[in-house]
Structure 1
Amino acid sequence: MKKIPLAEGVKLKSILTKKIQELISEIHLVSHAVVEKGEKPNPSGRPLNEVEKELAQVRKDSRTLDKLIYRANIDNTISFKGEELPIVEAIELASQLRAEASLYKDLGKEERERLYSTSDNIIFYQVAMYDPAEYRNRANELEKDAHRLSNLINAKNYQVEIEFDDSNYF
């Protein structure tokens, strides 16, 4: 069987998902016809059973590809900060690093914010209970880590191969 890089498999998965939606739309299109009373409908496009057959094959290929991608993401690892992580865990870690960086960016914005003033000319402030500059720095480091990890994942996705015949789609 033909082998393709895992990265190509991931791209192909999105292509198959789109193809499934297109075939479902085609089924809706070819399954009905508007005709004048007493007239016979003229087929527009392919026969319904032909489209259904293609849809079934694309769905089967999509499931097979999912299985192969999941297996490859579990069986292959990435070295990051002295730790071996399965690709699936590395993907989740990269997402978590980005989320944490986003939180820390928010914390790093302002030290103090004016809230409101009362009729007695008393002004209230919301004051940070931490050093915002420290959180800005931490956010930058977390973003760098997320980028490094994403680059490692992308590189690994081109190294790992899965057995899938993509000739029907490329």
Structure 2
Amino acid sequence: MKKIPLAEGVKLKSILTKKIQELISEIHLVAHAIVEKGEKPNPSGRSLAEVEAELAQVRKDSRTLDKLIYRANIDNTITFKDEELPIVEAIELASQLRADASLYKDLGKSEKERLYHSTGDSVIFYQVAMYEPSDFRNRANELEKEAHRLSNLINAKNYQVEIEFDDSKYF
């Protein structure tokens, strides 16, 4: 069986998902014909059975590819901050780092103290940050850098790891 880089498998998964949607649309097109009463429809392309058969094969290939990608993402590891992580965990950690960086950027945009608009009272209120916004801006930058470093490691690993899949039908 042919071997392809895991990175190519991930791209191919996206292509197969799009192909499945295209085939479903094609099924809707070939499933019906408008004809005058008493007339027989003229097929204008592939038959419904042909499109269904191709859809079934692409879906099977998609499931196979999923299984191979999942297995590779569990069986292969990345070293990040002196810790061995399966690729799947590294992917999730990168997502979490980006989410934290986004949260910290939002907190870092806050002012330390600002006038709080109140309704009708003669008392003046202030909204006061219970933290240092600049600290959160700095933390956000560091987390973003970590996420980029981790993503680079994941991408590099995805080109090192190979899975057994024949992609010749699609490339």
Distance 1:12 1:85 in 2: 24
| Paired letter, 1:133 | S
Q: Which residue of 2 aligns with 1:100?
A: 100
Query: What does residue 169 of structure 2 align with?
Result: 168
Structure 2 counterpart SS, 1:165 = coil
Deviation of residue 21 (structure 1)?
Answer: 0.6
Q: Which consecutive unaligned segments of at least 5 residues does structure 2 have?
A: none
Which letter maps to 1:88? V
Question: How far apart are residue 84 of structure 1 and its match?
Answer: 0.4
Residue type at the aligned position of 1:144: K
Aligned to 2:56: 56
Instruction: Return the letter of the residue paired with 2:108.
Output: G
Look up the SS of the partner of 2:170 in the other structure. Answer: coil
- What is the deviation of 1:44? 1.7
Name the amino acid aligned to 1:102. Answer: S
1:25 aligned partner: 25
CA distance in 2, matches of 1:4, 1:144: 30
2:117 is paired with a residue of what secondary structure? strand
Give distance in 2, aligned partners of 1:114 and 1:88.
46
Distance in 1, Cα, partners of 2:109 & 2:170: 48
Aligned residue in 1 for 2:90: 90
2:126 is matched with 125
Letter matched to residue 168 of structure 2: S
Letter matched to residue 40 of structure 1? K
Q: What's 1:146 paired with?
A: 147
When normalised by structure 1's length, the TM-score is 0.97
Is 2:38 the partner of 1:46?
no
Distance in 2 (alpha carbons) for counterparts of 1:105 and 1:60: 43
Shift of 1:119: 4.3
Q: C-alpha separation between the residues in 1 aligned to 2:138 and 2:91?
A: 23
Residues paired across the two proteins, number: 170
RMSD: 1.0
Distance 2:128 2:34 in 1: 68
Alpha-carbon separation, structure 2, partners of 1:44 and 1:120: 75
Secondary structure in structure 2 of the residue aligned to 1:34? coil
Query: Structure 1 stretches (4+) deviating beyond 3 angstroms?
Result: 117-121
Q: Which residue of 2 aligns with 1:65?
A: 65
Instruction: Name the TM-score, length of structure 2 as normaliser.
Output: 0.96
Q: Which residues of structure 1 form unaligned runs of 5+? A: none
Q: Which amino acid aligns with 1:163?
A: E
Quickly say closer, same or farther: Cα 1:96–1:120, change in 2 above 3 A: closer
Aligned AA for 2:9?
Answer: G
Q: What pairs up with 1:1-40 in 2 under 5 angstroms?
A: 1-40=1-40
Q: What letter is aligned with 1:38? A: G
Q: Secondary structure at the match of 2:137?
A: helix
Identity percentage of aligned residues: 86
CA distance in 2, matches of 1:164, 1:133: 49
